[in-house]
Structure 1
Amino acid sequence: MSWRELPLSELPIDVIDGDRGKNYPKQNEFHEKGYCVFLSATNVTKSGFKFDTVQFIDEQKDSALRKGKLSRNDVVLTTRGTIGNSAFFNESIPYENMRINSGMVILRVDQNKFYAPFLYSYLRSQLFLKKVDSIRSGAAQPQLPIRDLVTVKIPCPDISEQIRASEFISSYDDLIENNRRRIQLLEESARLLYQEWFVHLRFPGHEQVNITDGVPEGWTRLSVAECCEKPSYGYTASANQDAIGPKFLRITDIVPSSISWANVPYCEADEATTKKYQLGEGDIVVARTGATVGYAKRMPSLSEPVIYASYLVKFSPNKSIVDDLILGIFMESEQYKDFVRGNAGGAAQPNANAQILGGAKLLVPSELLQKEFRSNVAPLIEQKFLLEKQNTSLTKARDLLLPKLMSGELTI
C-alpha cells in the first residue's frame, strides 16, 4: 500500500536558506581551525558528511551571520552546482557549530510531527533524486531554487512507520560506516609505513646505508612525471545514473578518503572512446582544477570499465622505475596536495596542468626495498579494496530497498 505524499511546503518542515548578505565570509576569513565549520560542496556528498578537508570561521564572523546555522537533527541539501547531495547533522557529527554555504539549504523538521532520519533517507532515494532532476534549472550551473524545491512531494506515513523504515535503512548504514572506519585504519597503516621508510628514512637496514643530501645510496630523487608514462587528460561527457556505458569517474568521486563505486555514475562512450580513456589497476588520477586541485587516487583492480572525466589527469607509473603502491601513497598524501596547491595558477579557481601535477618529487628506493615495501603494504591495500567492494554491495542493496520503503510498497 502506497503512502500519501504532500508537497514539502505543506509538511512540518522548514526550508532555511544560508546567509547571502554583506557579511558572507570572504576567502581570507576562512581558517584551518576555528569556532564554526563553514560547509563547502566537498563536505556534503551522496554518502552524507565528509570532513577530509574542513574550513572554519571565527566566533565573531559566525555571530555576524543571520541565517544558515545548523541545529542537531537538521538535514542539509545541496542546491547549486552538484544538486541533491544531502547529509544529516545528528549526534555522531563531531562539530558543534556548523553553517551552510550559499549553495545549500537546511531542512528542519518539527520533531513531534516528522522523523528527521526518515526525511534524510528519502532525500537519498532515487525517488527524490529523479524528482529533483526533473525540476532543476541552469545548464552551466545547475540550481534548485527553494520555490521549486518546496513543490516536491514527500511521503508522509504515520511517524511510527517512519521510524521503522529509517531504523531498517540505518542497519545498512551502520555496516557501511563500520567498513569505512576499517578502511581508514588500513590506509593510515600504509601511510605510516611509507612515512617511516621513505620520509624519515628509517627503512630496514638504514643503519648501514650512506645518505648524501637526503638521498640514501642506491636511491634516486625523481619527479612524478619521470616515474610515469606520458600523462593524459580525461574525457568530456555528461554523467548519468542509468547503467549505460562505462563508469565515469569525476573529481567529486575521488575527493573522499575512499571511492564509493556504487555512487560513481556512467556515461555514453563507444568502444574506441572507452578503450582510449579506460583506467587500469595502478593508474593514478589527479584533480586539475577547483578547490580540490591536487587530490589523487590510485586505481584498484576494476571489475568493469571505468573512464575518467576531463578535469582529471591520468598518470600511469612506469613499473620498471617505481612501484605503483609507492607512487600512489605519495600522490594521495598531504605533501603532494600542498605541492600542487602551492604551484597552481588562478586565485578564484585554482588550476594545474599536467606539467605542474607531474612536477612533485619523491625519493625512489632500490628495487629490492620497493619489493619489500609492497610485500608489507599490498595485503593492507587488498583488504581495503575488499571492504570497498562490500560497501558497494551494501550500498546497492540499500538503494534497491530504499525506494520500496520510501513509497510504502515494502513494509517492515
Structure 2
Amino acid sequence: MIWETITATEFCDSVRDGTHDTPKQASIGKPLITSKHIKNGQILVEHAYLITEQDFENINKRSKVEKWDVLMSMIGTIGEAAVVKDDPDYAIKNIALFKCGDETKAKWLYYFLCSNMGKGQLFGNQKGSSQQFVSLTQLRQLQIPNPPRTTQLKITNVLSAYDDLIENNQKQIKLLEEAAMRLYKEWFVKLRFPGYERTKIVDGVPEGWTLCKLQDVIEFNPVTKLNKNQPKKSLPMAALNTSTMIVDESLIVETTSNSGSKFQNGDTLLARITPCLENGKTAFVNFLNPEEKAVGSTEFIVMRSIKLNPFMVYCLARDDNFRQLAIKSMSGADGRQRVKVEDLKNADFLLPPNHLIESCINHMEPIFNKIKTLNKQCYLLRQARDKLLPRLISEEIEV
C-alpha cells in the first residue's frame, strides 16, 4: 500500500514559529527555549535563561507551546527536533512549532523529521550565507507521508520503545552523576569526610590535609605523545555535554592530524572559551580503548590527576567554586574570552590524605563505570533505532 503525502499544514493543526527577538534576561520569570536547547530529542529547559512574565506572555500570544506539540530548530543548527511530552511552561525563540494535538501524530511527525526523508527536505531548503535557516513558509510545505493512524501508531510504538530505554538510561546517568557530586562536595568541599568529627583542625586545615596549589595535584594540558600520520579519534566541542560527563560519540571523527588538545582515558576536558565554559561543557574521557590517545578542540583544557584520582578531577571541574574561578579568570575580546590556565594552576587547593583519596576511588569507580555502561547502551540503542527508522518511514518494512 502506497501512503499518501500531505503538507505539514494539512497534517498539523497549525505550523508556527517562536519569537525572533531577543528578550532581556531576567532574574525571575519563565525559561526561553532556543535552538541550542533542543538536542537528541530532548528539550533542555534547565539550561535556558529566564525572561520576564510580560515577555513570556507576549511570545505566547502567537506561539504558545502545549503538550504533544513538536519543536524543531530552524536557524543555525537546523532540524534538531523534540516532542513536548509534559505540560510546558516556557516560551520559544527561533524554533518551529508544529501543533499536533495528540501523542501519535506528534511522535509520527518527530520521527519523520529525524528520518533521512525529512532531513533531506529540510537541508535542501536551507537559506542564508553566514547563518543557515529554513523559513516558516518552507516548513509549512514539508511533504509528510500520512499512512493510516493505526500504522502510525504501530510504527511510533516500535521506535518509542528504543527512545524510552534511552530516556531511562539518561535519567539513571543523571542520578548517578548527582550522587558522585554529592560525595565529592560532602567530603572535599564541606569537609564532612569519614571521621571528620574526630579530626583536629590546625590553622583552619584538618590534620593530615595539606594546603597546596592546583598545579601540585593536577596537570593542566599535559604532554601526550601521538604517532604522526596514524589515524586517531577527534572530538569536537559540540560533543561535550553541558550537564553530564558523557560525550556524543556519534560526533567523533577520525583524523591523522595531531593538532589540537591531546588526551587519554581518565582525563577531564573543560571548555575554556565563552560561552561553552559558562554553559557547563565538561567531559570525562572513558570512551577510548586502553592505551589509546586522541585529539580534540583547541578550546579544551585537559586536566589529568597527579596526586588525586581521575574521578575527583572531574568532580572538581564540575564544582561551582572551581567553575566561578575559571570564569573570573577569563580575558580577551567580548564573545571570545578564554580561561587563563595559569590562574587555575595557582589556585589554592586542600589536598586530602591518601587514605581518603583511595576511599573516594572505591566509592566513585563503580558509579563512573555504571555511567559508561549506560551511555554505551544509549549509543547502541540510537544506532539500532536509526537503522530501523528510515526503513519504517519509507514503507520498506511493514509492521
Q: Give the alignment's TM-score, normalised by structure 1.
A: 0.82
Q: Does 1:88 align with 2:83?
A: yes
Between 297-306 and 384-393, the greater mean CA deviation after superposition? 297-306
Instruction: Provide the residue aligned with 2:390 in structure 1.
Output: 403
What secondary structure, in the 3-state scheme, does the structure 1 residue paired with 2:70 have? strand
What secondary structure, in the 3-state scheme, does the structure 2 residue paired with 1:317 have? strand
Q: Does 1:201 align with 2:201?
A: no
Q: What is the alpha-carbon distance in structure 2 between the residues aligned to residue 398 and residue 15 of structure 1? A: 27
Q: What is the alpha-carbon distance in structure 2 between the residues aligned to residue 216 and residue 193 of structure 1? A: 18
Amino acid at match of 1:273: N
Match for residue 156 of structure 2 among 166, 171, 177 = 166
Match for residue 236 of structure 2 among 249, 257, 262 = 249
| Alpha-carbon distance change, 208 to 227 in structure 1, aligned in 2, over 3 angstroms | same
Amino acid at match of 2:16: I
Instruction: Provide the residue aligned with 1:281 in structure 2.
Output: 265
Q: Which runs of 5+ in 2 are unaligned?
A: 224-230
Between 189-198 and 342-351, the greater mean CA deviation after superposition? 342-351
Given that 1:76 and 1:86 are in contact with CA atoms closer than 8 Å, whether structure 2 keeps it comes out as yes
Q: Does 1:370 align with 2:357?
A: yes
Q: For residues 229-244 of structure 1, what are the structure 2 equivalents within 5 Å?
A: 229-231=219-221
Q: What is the alpha-carbon distance in structure 2 between the residues aligned to residue 85 and residue 213 of structure 1? A: 54
| Alpha-carbon distance change, 60 to 223 in structure 1, aligned in 2, over 3 angstroms | farther
Given that 2:177 and 2:367 are in contact with CA atoms closer than 8 Å, whether structure 1 keeps it comes out as yes
Amino acid at match of 1:211: I
Q: What is the alpha-carbon distance in structure 2 between the residues aligned to residue 336 and residue 350 of structure 1? A: 20
Q: What is the alpha-carbon distance in structure 1 between the residues aligned to residue 393 and residue 31 of structure 2? A: 31
Instruction: Provide the residue aligned with 2:372 in structure 1.
Output: 385
Instruction: Provide the residue aligned with 2:111 in structure 1.
Output: 121
What secondary structure, in the 3-state scheme, does the structure 1 residue paired with 2:197 have? helix
Match for residue 291 of structure 1 among 275, 280, 289 = 275
Match for residue 63 of structure 2 among 62, 65, 68 = 68
Given that 2:73 and 2:81 are in contact with CA atoms closer than 8 Å, whether structure 1 keeps it comes out as yes
Q: For residues 261-410 of structure 1, what are the structure 2 equivalents within 5 Å?
A: 261-262=248-249, 264-267=250-253, 269-270=255-256, 272-273=257-258, 277-294=261-278, 295=280, 296-303=282-289, 307-310=295-298, 312-319=299-306, 321-345=307-331, 349=335, 351-355=337-341, 358=344, 361-410=348-397
| Alpha-carbon distance change, 90 to 302 in structure 1, aligned in 2, over 3 angstroms | same
Q: Does 1:8 align with 2:8?
A: yes
Given that 1:247 and 1:305 are in contact with CA atoms closer than 8 Å, whether structure 2 keeps it comes out as no
Given that 2:8 and 2:140 are in contact with CA atoms closer than 8 Å, whether structure 1 keeps it comes out as yes
Q: What is the alpha-carbon distance in structure 1 between the residues aligned to residue 5 and residue 213 of structure 2? A: 58
Amino acid at match of 1:26: K
Match for residue 107 of structure 1 among 98, 108, 114 = 98
Between 48-57 and 279-288, the greater mean CA deviation after superposition? 48-57
Q: Which runs of 5+ in 1 are unaligned?
A: 234-243
Q: For residues 173-192 of structure 1, what are the structure 2 equivalents within 5 Å?
A: 173-192=163-182
Q: What is the alpha-carbon distance in structure 2 between the residues aligned to residue 286 and residue 403 of structure 1? A: 36
Given that 2:303 and 2:313 are in contact with CA atoms closer than 8 Å, whether structure 1 keeps it comes out as no
Q: CA deviation at 1:69?
A: 2.4
Q: What is the alpha-carbon distance in structure 2 between the residues aligned to residue 189 and residue 266 of structure 1? A: 28
Q: CA deviation at 1:194?
A: 0.9
Match for residue 98 of structure 1 among 66, 73, 90 = 90
Q: What is the alpha-carbon distance in structure 2 between the residues aligned to residue 362 and residue 133 of structure 1? A: 50
Q: CA deviation at 1:190?
A: 1.1
Q: Does 1:48 align with 2:46?
A: no
Q: CA deviation at 1:402?
A: 1.1
Given that 1:228 and 1:318 are in contact with CA atoms closer than 8 Å, whether structure 2 keeps it comes out as yes
Q: CA deviation at 1:154?
A: 2.2
1:183-225, Cα deviation, whole Å (9 max, x unpaired)? 1221121111111111121212323433345432333345555
Q: Percent of counterpart pairs with the same letter?
A: 26
Q: CA deviation at 1:45?
A: 0.7
| Alpha-carbon distance change, 2 to 324 in structure 1, aligned in 2, over 3 angstroms | farther
Given that 1:343 and 1:356 are in contact with CA atoms closer than 8 Å, whether structure 2 keeps it comes out as no
Given that 1:340 and 1:352 are in contact with CA atoms closer than 8 Å, whether structure 2 keeps it comes out as no
Between 216-225 and 281-290, the greater mean CA deviation after superposition? 216-225
Q: What is the alpha-carbon distance in structure 2 between the residues aligned to residue 13 and residue 348 of structure 1? A: 43
Q: What is the alpha-carbon distance in structure 1 between the residues aligned to residue 368 and residue 47 of structure 2? A: 23
Q: What is the alpha-carbon distance in structure 2 between the residues aligned to residue 322 and residue 87 of structure 1? A: 40
| Alpha-carbon distance change, 167 to 346 in structure 1, aligned in 2, over 3 angstroms | farther
| Alpha-carbon distance change, 269 to 192 in structure 1, aligned in 2, over 3 angstroms | same
Given that 1:297 and 1:332 are in contact with CA atoms closer than 8 Å, whether structure 2 keeps it comes out as no
Q: CA deviation at 1:301?
A: 4.2
Q: What is the alpha-carbon distance in structure 2 between the residues aligned to residue 343 and residue 260 of structure 1? A: 26
Q: What is the alpha-carbon distance in structure 1 between the residues aligned to residue 36 and residue 208 of structure 2? A: 41
Q: Give the alignment's TM-score, normalised by structure 2.
A: 0.84
Q: CA deviation at 1:326?
A: 0.5
Amino acid at match of 1:8: A
Instruction: Provide the residue aligned with 1:236 in structure 2.
Output: none
RMSD of the alignment, in Å? 3.1
Q: What is the alpha-carbon distance in structure 2 between the residues aligned to residue 79 and residue 124 of structure 1? A: 14
| Alpha-carbon distance change, 306 to 4 in structure 1, aligned in 2, over 3 angstroms | farther
Given that 2:233 and 2:253 are in contact with CA atoms closer than 8 Å, whether structure 1 keeps it comes out as yes
Q: CA deviation at 1:180?
A: 1.4
